A = this chain, B = another copy of it.
Amino acid sequence: MTLVVGKMIAAHPGPGADFDSALATCIEECLACFQACTSCADACTAEADIASMVKCIRTDLDCADTCAACAAVLSRRTDTDLTVTRTLVEACLASCVACAVECERHAAHHEHCRICAEVCRRCEQACRQLLAALPKVG
C-alpha cells in the first residue's frame, strides 16, 4: 500500500478523531482524482477524435487542480477554519461532478474516460460524506 493518509492523519498531535475516517477517505480520493484527471486530459489529446474531447480536457484539468488543492488543505489539522474547508470541498465536489458527467459521455469508447469518471464519482461521494461529517460552521 502506497498512501499512508490514515496514519499521517492519526499522527497529528492536536485534534481528536471525530471525523478522521471521512477526512482520510476524502484525501485519498482527491489524490486518486488529481492523478486520474491529469492522465485523462493527456490521453484525450492523444486520441484521433481530439476535436470531440475539448470539453473533457477542460473539465479534467479543472478537476485535477481543485482536487490537488483540496487534498493539501484537508491534510492539515492545525487550527482548521471550517468555512475554508467547506467551501473548498464544495468546489471540489462541483468539479468532480462536472468532470464525471463529461467523462461518462466518452466512457464507451475511451477506457481512460471510463476509469476517470469512476474515480470522479468516488471523489464526489467522499466529498459529500465529508461535508455531512464536518461540524457545522458557527
Write the residues of chain A forming the contact surface with B, with a CB cutoff of 8 angstroms: 2-5, 7-9, 11-14, 27-29, 31-32, 34-36, 38-43, 45-48, 50-51, 54-55, 57-59, 61-62, 64-66, 68-69, 71-73, 75-81, 83-84, 87-88, 90-91, 93-95, 98, 110-112, 115-116, 119, 122
Contact = CB atoms under 8 A, between A and B. Distances in A.
Given A3-B2, A35-B3, A84-B94, A46 B77 contact: yes
A29 B11 contact: no
A43 B75 CA distance: 10
A41 B45 CA distance: 11
A39 B88 contact: no
Contact of A4 (B36, B73, B79): B36
Contacts of A119: 4
Given A3-B3, A11-B43, A115-B7, A78 B54 contact: yes
A70 B4 CA distance: 19
A91 B111 CA distance: 32
